[in-house]
Amino acid sequence: MLHRIVVVGGGAGGLELATRLGRSLGKRKKAKITLVDANLTHIWKPLLHEVATGSLNSTDNELNYLAQAKWNHFEFQIGRFAGIDRQAKTIELSATLGEKGQELVPARSLPYDTLVVAVGSLTNDFGTQGAAEHCIFLDSPQHALNFHRRLLGEYLTAHAQGDIDHSVNIAIVGAGATGVELAAELRRAAEELSAYGLGNIQPENMNISLIEAGPRVLPALSEKIADEVHQQLLKLGVQVKLSAAVEEVTADGMSIKGGGFIPATLKVWAAGVRAPNFLTELDGLETNRINQLVVHRTLQTTLDENIFALGDCAACPLSEGSDKNVPPRAQSAHQQASFLNKALALKLKGKALPSYSYRDYGSLVSLSQYSAVGNIMGGFMRTVNVEGWMARMFYISLYRMHQVVLYGVFRTALIMLSDRIGKRTHPRMKLH
């Protein structure tokens, strides 16, 4: 019987790993590779802020798991991960339901010999009162589309009612990369919506508040870059609130600790991440305070050498004996997928597994069509700051590199050509 490798989670890391394993072990009949996800399609998570504003049509950028499996010699199983029986070496999948609650696919067990958990992360609201009820979290395409529908609804209502000089108030909690990029994309959306005839809400009447508990935006980047981004956000008309911790979220807005209230019709929480809660209930596997599975530098979980974890849901030490973990970033998931592709091939041969070492290639932040900034790691670990057109090109290349891994060079080139043609035939933003 072929060795059964099951990858749970079709995000960037899990999908890349299943694709790589399918092309190597699956194609040569060295192992049976199965990818499990609760959805039928994948979209790169760093693009969700563009889906939310309508700058990107998710339908045009989705990857279908069934098609990807056919093309790359692995199997896809739909189902939501519900548990593990480590002794029996099976995972439990809950039933998949239709729109009306009818059962489409029954609950079932799936056997494995090697299991890789790659379920990603969720937004962490830190238990803030009212956040879960009143904020949108950009954790999935469905969340992003929900925000887009609500934003478009504000404009359509004002247009239909002839409400001249109507305003819309939007509050974003968290001035990390997601919050900053969303704020910039919203400014662009305001201009585009007005240009397409929904001018009852003038661009300057979209009031965008970016709220950060810390002393500056983009805490993960250098102070110089953070200051530059701060100034550009101000030029775009974004109200940046620093050292402003949100105490409570209501239907009308956000209360700030120490006093102050920020009115908002649309509210997005983009501060902090945590792994899904169910990871704490996986047959005794060790987790940390934000629900991540604790793993060795081989990416094996501490209590079961046949269960691995990668990406945002894994707490992997930066180095041997380090009390710091690999940061939950897209490049981490990419590196770990590449690492496990080679490590699992060694595991099948009974060889010792290597240790994963994280390499920081820098960070890039897009300010929509207006600009981009960031830093890249040059030779000898020298940090090079980039901005403007060059930074924008580097930023776009990150997504293209993700596509190359999944589709190959030729098909990615065709996708790029199709995208180019689409710009001539489609609206500049999604209007439905």
pLDDT in tens, 392-414: 888 888 888 889 999 999 999 99
> Cβ(185)–Cβ(368) under 8 Å?
yes
Judgement on whether residues 99 and 136 belong to the same structural domain of the protein:
no
Residue 239 sits in the same domain as residue 281: no
Mean pLDDT on 29-46 = 95
Burial grade of 53 (CB within 10 A; 0-12, 13-18, 19 or more)? buried
Please tell me the predicted confidence (pLDDT) of residue 388. 78
Based on its alpha-carbon atoms, the radius of gyration of the chain, rounded to whole angstroms, reads 22
| Whether residues 8 and 58 fall in one domain | yes
Residues 135 and 265 in one domain: yes
Same domain (yes/no): 138, 263 = yes
- Contact by Cβ (8 Å): 118, 16: no
Same domain assignment for residues 407 and 344: no
Q: Which domain holds residue 67?
A: 3-121+275-348
Domain contains 357: no
Clarify whether residues 105 and 156 are in a common domain: no
CA atoms of 38 and 232, how far apart (whole Å): 39
DSSP state of 352: P
Is the residue at 430 inside a domain? no
pLDDT at 349 over 70: yes
411: Cβ–Cβ under 8 A, 6 or more apart, which residues?
none
Number of other CB atoms surrounding residue 325 within 10 Å: 18
Dihedral sign (CA 223, 227, 230, 232)? negative
For residues 419 and 315, state if they share a domain.
no
Does residue 283 belong to any structural domain of this protein?
yes
Pairing type for strands 96-97 and 239-241 reads: unpaired
CATH classification at residue 217: 3.50.50.60
Whether residue 205 has pLDDT greater than 60: yes
Among 348, 373, 392, identify where a domain stops: 348
69, 35 contact by CB (below 8 A): yes
Helix (H) or strand (E) holding 411: helix 409-425
To the nearest whole number, what is the mean pLDDT of the chain?
91
Residue 126 falls within a domain, yes or no?
Answer: no
Q: Are residues 147 and 241 in the same domain?
A: yes
| Of the residues 244, 269, 294, the one at which a domain ends | 269
DSSP assignment string, 316-336: -BSSTT-SSB----HHHHHHH
Domain count, the chain: 3
Q: Give the burial string for 197-230 (b: 16+ CB within 10 Å, else e).
A: ebebbebebbbbbbbbbeebbbeebeeebbebbb
- Is residue 294 scored above 90 in pLDDT? yes
- Do 259 and 135 lie in one domain? The reply is yes
pLDDT digits (tens, 9 = 90+) for 40-60: 999 999 999 999 999 988 888
Q: How many CA atoms lie within 13 A of 41 on its CB side?
A: 11
Residues 261 and 279 in one domain: no
User: Is residue 49 classed as helix, strand or coil in its secondary structure?
Assistant: helix
pLDDT tens, position by position, 70-126: 999 999 999 999 999 999 999 999 988 888 888 888 999 999 999 999 999 999 999
**CA 345 vs CA 51, 322, 349: distances in Å:** 37, 27, 7
Bridge partners of 4? 32
C-beta of residue 213 within 8 angstroms of C-beta of residue 246: yes
- On whether residue 403 sits in a domain, the answer given is yes
Supply the pLDDT for residue 382. Answer: 65
Last residue in a domain, options 248, 269, 290:
269
Q: In Å, what is the CA distance from 22 to each residue of 15, 65, 334, 400, 410? A: 10, 13, 16, 21, 19
pLDDT band at 273 (very low <50, low <70, confident <90, very high): very high
Q: What is the percent of the chain where pLDDT is above 70?
A: 99
Residue 355 lies in a domain: no
In this prediction, residue 378 carries a pLDDT of 59
Confidence of residue 362 (pLDDT cuts 50, 70, 90): confident
Asked which of 39-53, 153-167, 237-251 is least confident by mean pLDDT, the reply is 153-167
Average pLDDT (348-377) is: 88
Is 328 found in the same domain as 390?
Answer: no
